[in-house]
Chains A and B, each alone.
Chain A
Amino acid sequence: AQSVAQPEDQVNVAEGNPLTVKCTYSVSGNPYLFWYVQYPNRGLQFLLKYITGDNLVKGSYGFEAEFNKSQTSFHLKKPSALVSDSALYFCAVRDTGTGANNLFFGTGTRLTVIP
């Protein structure tokens, strides 16, 4: 069965500092991995995905993620955090069941960027 884990419920970082939000995964077969962000009272916004290819994936709003097969991780990163990056971040993995394309989400990590 597919699953993702986000070990940190909360991450605090100072504005201008690099940020990392952690995610580890467990899948049978090749992983299809995603990051989404949720702002208060809003839906989830797609940030980036890893399907195949380069281990460093670039996404929206300056975010990137590093796929590490040996560590089964897919950490979200940004070189310089903005206060506006404060939000709830979800890692997700695609279901590889027959005909399915739904996502399994982690429990979310609340990122707070401190001015």
Chain B
Amino acid sequence: DSGVTQTPKHLITATGQRVTLRCSPRSGDLSVYWYQQSLDQGLQFLIQYYNGEERAKGNILERFSAQQFPDLHSELNLSSLELGDSALYFCASSVSPGTSGGYEQYFGPGTRLTVT
């Protein structure tokens, strides 16, 4: 168990809908990362937050957004869903980069999103 929790585990929804995925980082970790894993595109970085502020963006669609709250949990919002958004969405957390051991990330179990 990595200490990173994600809810829900599974989500089935229809095209055009909006969903919210939730992540709680490991205790003490300030950075949260979101990744998408799909068969055709592999594991792709979406977005990073550090202590409530956006730090880096990857291949995140404009239909997707995220935020990190004062208690450090994070939510990934996916809107106007398309069939191609079906994937496994992972959250990861880490301590502050540069801190001893601060570069590896610890992953949650993921949320499997199915868009029908």
A97 touches B56 (CB 8 A): yes
**How many B residues face the partner with a CB closer than 8 A?**
25
Interface size classification for chain A: 20 to 34
Query: Is A22 located at the chain interface by the 8 A CB criterion?
Result: no
Contact B45 A45 (CB under 8 A): no
A46, A90, A108 interface centre (most CB from chain B within 10 Å): A46
Select which of B31, B90, B104 is within 8 A of A49 by beta carbon: B104
B2 close to A102 (CB less than 8 A): no
Beyond A32-B103, A94-B103, A101-B48, whether A43 also contacts B56 by CB under 8 A is no
A43 near B2 with CB under 8 A, answer yes
Residue of B nearest to A33 (CB): B103
Residues on B with beta carbons closer than 8 Å to the beta carbon of A56: none
User: Nearest Cβ in chain B — how far from A98, in angstroms?
Assistant: 9
| Chain B min CB distance to A65 (Å) | 13
Candidates B45, B90, B110; contact of A104 at CB < 8 Å? B45
Does residue A89 face the partner (Cβ distance < 8 Å to B)?
no
Query: Using Cβ atoms and an 8 Å threshold, which residues of chain B touch A106?
Result: 42
Complex: how many Å from CA A105 to CA B33? 14
Chain B residue contacts of A49, Cβ below 8 A: 103-104
Q: Which residues of A contact B (CB under 8 A)?
A: 32, 34, 36, 42-46, 49, 51, 90, 94-95, 97, 99-108
